[in-house]
Structure formats: C-alpha cells, structure tokens
Structure 1
Amino acid sequence: MKARHFFSSLLTSCALLFGATAAQAAYPEKPITMIVAYGAGGSTDVTARMLAPFIEKYLGGGARIVVMNRGGAGGEIGFAAIADATPDGYTIGFINTPNVVTIPIERNARFTLDRLDPLVNVVDDPGIMTVHGDSPYKTVEDLVAQAKANPNTITLGSTGVGSDDHLAMLLLQRQANVRFTHVPFPGSAENYRSMLGRHTQICGQNLGEGLRGKAGGDNIRILGVMSTQRWDMAPDLPTFKELGYNITMASLRGVGAPKGLPPEIRAKLIDAVTKAANDPEFQSKARDTYQPLRILDSEAFSAELKELDGDFRNLWREFPWLK
C-alpha cells in the first residue's frame, strides 16, 4: 500500500511538473496587449505598430500583439496601466523618457519607476524645434531675439509638462534669458498639427517626427537638433551646442513590462524584442521612417533610466518645472 501510494504521488508530481512546463512553453496562449502611452500617429505609436509584427514573428506559435493607445497626463495613464497589469507577459508597453522618469519626480504619480521592468530599448530620438515653413523664424537666434523683445508672445507646443520638449524649452529660456508661452498637448501628433495649422508657432518634437513630416511634403523648417553631434539622417541640421546653447535632450523609447514577470516568460520576451529590433527588415523600415535606433539590453536600459532619474532629480531641485 505504501509503495502504491509513493508511486501514485510520484506520478502526480511528474504530471503537475509536465503540465507547468507545457504551460510555460505554450506562452503566449492568448493575444498580448502592447500599451502606447500616447495618441495614435505619434512617434511611439509608429514604432510600436512597426515593431509588433516582428516581435510576433520571434515569439512564434501564432503570437498576436494588439497595440492599445492609452494617452493622457503626459504618459502617466499609459505607464500606470503597464505598472498595474498582472505580470504574466500578456501586458507590455513602450516606456518613454524623460516622462517615465520625470512624472514621479514632479507629482504623486499613479506609478513609480521601480514598478516597471525595462526589457529592451529600441529608439533614441533627439529633440528638435520646428516651425512652419512660412514662419519669420529662420534660425534659433531669430527666435531668441523675438522672445527677448516680446516676452511670452511666442507659443511653443510640447507633449506635456515634464516632457523632453517642455524641459528643452525651459533650458533654452534659462540659457537665453527669454520667456515663451508653453502649450502642452496630449501627444506629439496633436502638437505637430497645431503648428502646421499655425495655432502655435513652435513645435517641440523629436527628430524622427520632423524628418517624416518633411519627407511627406509638410512645409516646415527645423531650427536645430539637441543631440551631442549632428545626426547622420540630417547632416545639415546644426546642434544646439553648435548654436551656443548647452542643450542635449532625447527620448528613449523601449519595451517594458510590469515588475515580477516569470523568469522564463521575461527571457522569452527579451529574446523576441531583441531579435525583432535587430531584424534587417525592421531596421530598414525604421530608417525609411526616420526612427533613430539605439538598441539596449535590459541591464543597460535600466542603468540609463537610473542615471536619468538622478539627473532629473538634480534638475528638479534647481528649478522645479511645474512652477
């Protein structure tokens, strides 16, 4: 009887172990939601929808990813939705700097950085300032001269308080001793359309957005790029440092998940996203749509977010950008 009980227990344990292994191996068994914390048509949305099919390809097993836009509050709603999700691998999303770092610094946010698991960074898109092609502002100095002569008369759109666009504006104000009127928008597409419609005079945005607009025939002028050196996709575009302003600002956009993923699922997601981002076809599409790629593994991505958190906390102590 004891022997039969022992073998029965052993068989049951093996069956349970086999079942658990089979369940893990079957991931994903249902569609995966990929959250974009901004509206449709913006840079993150473009990247997400372009990358998703390649992640599906490398996950295999008929994997399906559904991109869901959860815009609002500068990205807080979408980032919180990722952080609050069950950590089972069926909710992932894009996390964007600086907003994912600055929002918990500036207010009691619905998420904190340590509740997100950075898996793979994909894009590193430097900031720019764009005006309508018919604007009287041909250069950054034209802009500064007008702002000095007429404080608060030039409107500058951004993707929200604490965004890279907003912080870049504050840095220019500080270094040039000028004042603009800040106009926050829920996403980059709305911000860009406002400038095209001449409702706002300057569009703070990212390089990829501006270059896509120009390639699509939009009548715009890019005044400068906030990278450390000229970008190979726009070699004639001067950096703000060249123009006399110590402003470097960019948006890292990578895939993250809620903290606490099962190790096997986390490893599978990281492997699939890494292979997707390095896929030659995706990289070709990214270049054709002016998306500056910078692929970082989880460790490097996490380290960069931690460094940015320290930098922006220091900046907040110097001049809180909500005041």
Structure 2
Amino acid sequence: MAASLATLTASAAFGEYPERPIEMIVAYSAGGGTDTAARTLAPFIEKYLGNDASVVVVNKPGAGGEIGFTDLARADPDGYTIVFINTPNILTIPISRDTRYTMEDIQAVSNVVYDPGAFNVRPGSEFTSLDELVAYAKENPGAVTYGTSGTGGDDHLAALQFSRIAGIEMTHVPFPGAADVRAAVLGGHITMAAMNISEAIDLVNQGELVSLGQMDEERWDGAPDVPTFAEQGYEVVMGSDRGIGAPAGIPEEALNALQDAIAKTIEDPEFLEAAENQKLPLAYRDAAGFQDYLGSLGENLQQIWDENPWVQ
C-alpha cells in the first residue's frame, strides 16, 4: 500500500510538468540557422505545454556540436534538459572519432525540419542535369569542384554517396559556412555548390543559380520545379534534420508532453507562417518514427564511413 501511495504521489506531482524552466541546448552559435529555428520553435512549445512553461535556449557551441550533445547526454533525464538535434552531425561525430556520448545516450522526441541537400551550378554551366554532370565528370575525373560547409557534414557526405553511386570522382572544397559556398559558386571559384535546398532556393528563383536536384523522397513545396535525385535515377536521400532530443531515460510523461506540444506546433498557423518566412522545409516525425529514422540513417552513414572515411 505504501509503495502504491508513493507511486500515485509521484505521478500526481509529475502531472504538473513542467514545474520549472526547460533548457533547450543548441550545439551551435547564436544567430545561425539552427539557433534561429530553435528560437522560433521554443515559444510554441511553451504555448502547448501550458502550465506557464518556459523554454530557455542555451547555446553551447564547439567541436562541431559535440560539446552541446555531450552536455545533453550527461544531463539528468528528468525532462528539463532537451537539445536541438542536427543530422548528420549528431551521428557522424561518434562514427568519425572517440566521443563522450553515443546515440544510446539520446532519446528522440520529434523531428521538425528536413532540409534536403541539393547540387547547384551557375547558369551557363557545362552541365544542367545530373546525367550531364556524371558524363562530364567521367570524361574529366576530378575536374568538378564542389563546395560544402565542411568536411563530414550532410552536403559533403551526400556528394561522396552520389560519387560512389555514379562512379565518378569530384574534388571537395570545404568552406566555413553556406554563405561562403554561395559566394564561391557565384564568383566562379568552384564548379558546384552542395547546399541545403533552402539555402539555395532564393538564388534559384532569382535565376542566379540552377539547382540540378534535391535529395528528398518527394519534392519540397518550396521548390516544386526542382526534381529529386531519385527521379533522375540516383537514389540519394540526404539532408539536415532538425528536431528535439532528450537524455535517454526521460520519463514517459515528459516525453509524451513534449512530443504532443511539438505535434500541435506543426499545425499552428502562426508557426507555419514563420517557418515559411524562414524557408524551413517542415517534416514532422514523432518520437518512435524519429528514433527509427536516426537508427537507419546512422547505419547508412556508418557504411559510407567504412567505404570512404571523410576524415583521414
């Protein structure tokens, strides 16, 4: 009877979740795309959690995201520390080096954004389709230079996967960020920019870039005229997911509350308008779906690493 009473008391107490501010870790600097998306999402999580919820965004940049992801993994699994997950970084870091966290330390809560990768060239390029790119690269091994925002990121890994599937060799040119990649391709310093589709679509719409394809299973509504890689015969699905994770072992009540709040946010007209203004390709997954997706993506990334390590 005493044990039952204690269980009921604890359950009733937890029913008031959240009772104190929730810390949302962003593993990157303030002002970037991840930080902006997180700060856009946070007020809506507060709104739908109710109980005067407060979600405080805390930037913990460094080591490609490892510092923030490690802090999450070491936090108490009580529902009061969550993280804004980025793929593939959260997965590739433990694959490519020894880390203080593994994916077993992290519980997926919900995915919010999937920003597909894309190959983009200037008008007047030697090629205007993926088939033409492959033909050119086969005739000129290594001549195609492609820029990305860094070694081991989704853009780089996508290019490696595409090269493997197509049987071609291209030359990687890493840059500090997407803005640098855009400047380099527009200036003619590189042949092609490998960027997320949301980072290129304004220039595509303005006629300053041509997007050869987007790496999703279906065309994003924001880029309906850009075919997928699969439509063109190349099975490459790669991009950057952005969602919410928590320490493994988070109480089920907190997990469900957070998941439900995010599901309602995705349907909120005000949030949808903000996401459209920021060019955020929304792709909701619940906790179970996101957890399974991270597992399968991790296996794919491990295969890429085993065949062609992106860090020597």
Query: In angstroms, what is the RMSD of aligned CA positions?
Result: 3.5
Tell me which residue corresponds to 2:46: 56
Cα gap change, 1:199/1:19 in structure 2, threshold over 3 Å: closer, same or farther?
farther
1:292 aligned residue (266, 281, 293): 281
Please give the alpha-carbon distance, in whole angstroms, between the structure 2 residues aligned to 1:30 and 1:213. Answer: 44
Deviations 1:155-193 (A, max 9, x none): 433343332211111123224443333234565455556
Cα 1:263–1:187 change in 2 (3 A) is farther
1:195-249 alpha-carbon deviations (Å, 9 max, x no partner): 556665533222222225556x694332211123433332211222344433222
Partner of 1:165: 155
CA contact (8 A) 1:40 1:189 kept: no
Correspondence for 2:115 among 103, 125, 147: 125
Aligned to 1:277: 266
* Counterpart residue number, 2:242: 253
Given that 2:220 and 2:281 are in contact with CA atoms closer than 8 Å, whether structure 1 keeps it comes out as no
Segment of structure 1 superposing worse, 119-128 or 97-106: 97-106
Is the partner of 1:320 in helix, strand or coil?
coil
The count of aligned residue pairs is 311
CA separation in 1, counterparts of 2:130 and 2:61? 31
Q: TM (normalized to structure 2)?
A: 0.81
Scaled by the length of structure 1, the TM-score of the pair is 0.79
Secondary structure of 1:257's counterpart equals: strand
**One-letter amino acid of the structure 1 residue matched with residue 276 of structure 2:** R
Q: Does residue 103 in structure 1 map to residue 104 in structure 2? A: no
1:275-314 per-position Cα deviation (integer Å, ceiling 9, x unaligned):
2223232123323433222211111111111222233333
| Higher Cα radius of gyration | 1
| 1:67-109 deviation line (CA, Å, top 9, x unaligned) | 2333444433332232222323332112122322232222212
User: Shift of residue 64 of structure 1?
Assistant: 2.6
Structure 2: state its 5+ residue gaps: none
Residue 28 (structure 2) aligned to one of 25, 38, 59? 38
Q: In structure 1, the residue corresponding to 2:112 is in which secondary structure?
A: strand
Task: Report the residue type matching 1:208 in the other structure.
Answer: S
1:321 paired to 2:306: no
Q: Write the distance in 2 (CA, Å) between the matches of 1:155 and 1:193.
A: 14
Listed as ranges, the gaps of 5+ residues in structure 1 are 1-12
| 2:163 partner letter | Q
Residue 73 of structure 2 corresponds to 83
